[in-house]
Amino acid sequence: MSLSTKIKLFSALGLAVAGLGLSVPSVAMAQTSTPSTTSTQATVGFTEDDQTPENPVDPENPTKPGDGTNPGTGNTGALTLDYVSGFDFGINKISPSEKTYTAGLDKANKSTTYAQVTDKRAGDPKGWTLKVTEQEQLKSLKAQKELTGTQISLTEAKAVSGLSLPESQVSVTDQALTPGTQSVVMNALPGNGYGRWTDAWGTAKTGSGVKLTVPTGAYPEADTYTTNLNWSLEDIPTNGGSSVNPNLPTGN
| DSSP labels, 41-94 | ----------S-PPPPB-TT-TTSB--SS-------SSEEEEEE----------
CATH of 79-241, one of 3.40.50, 2.60.40, 1.20.950, 1.10.287: 2.60.40
Residue-wise pLDDT tens digits, 15-41? 444 454 545 555 556 677 899 999 999
Residue type, 79: L
Whether pTM exceeds 0.75: yes
Burial class of residue 82 (count of CB atoms within 10 Å of its CB; 0-12, 13-18, 19+): buried
Residue-wise pLDDT tens digits, 122-156? 999 999 999 999 999 999 999 999 999 999 999 99
Q: In this structure, are strands 128-134 and 229-234 parallel, antiparallel, or unpaired? A: antiparallel
pLDDT < 50 stretches in the chain: 3, 5-18, 20, 22, 240-252
Q: Please give the helix or strand (H or E) that residue 133 lies within, else none.
A: strand 128-134
Name the DSSP letter for residue 241: G
177 Cβ neighbours under 8 A, 6+ residues apart: 132, 134, 151, 152, 153, 154, 183, 229
CB-CB neighbours of 231 under 10 Å? 14
Which ranges in the chain belong to alpha helices (H)? 3-19
**In the prediction, which pLDDT does 4 show?**
52
Name the DSSP letter for residue 106: B
**In the prediction, which pLDDT does 2 show?**
53
Domain positions in the chain: 79-241
Rounded to whole angstroms, the Cα distance separating 81 from 78 reads 10
* Distance, CA of 97 to chain centre: 42
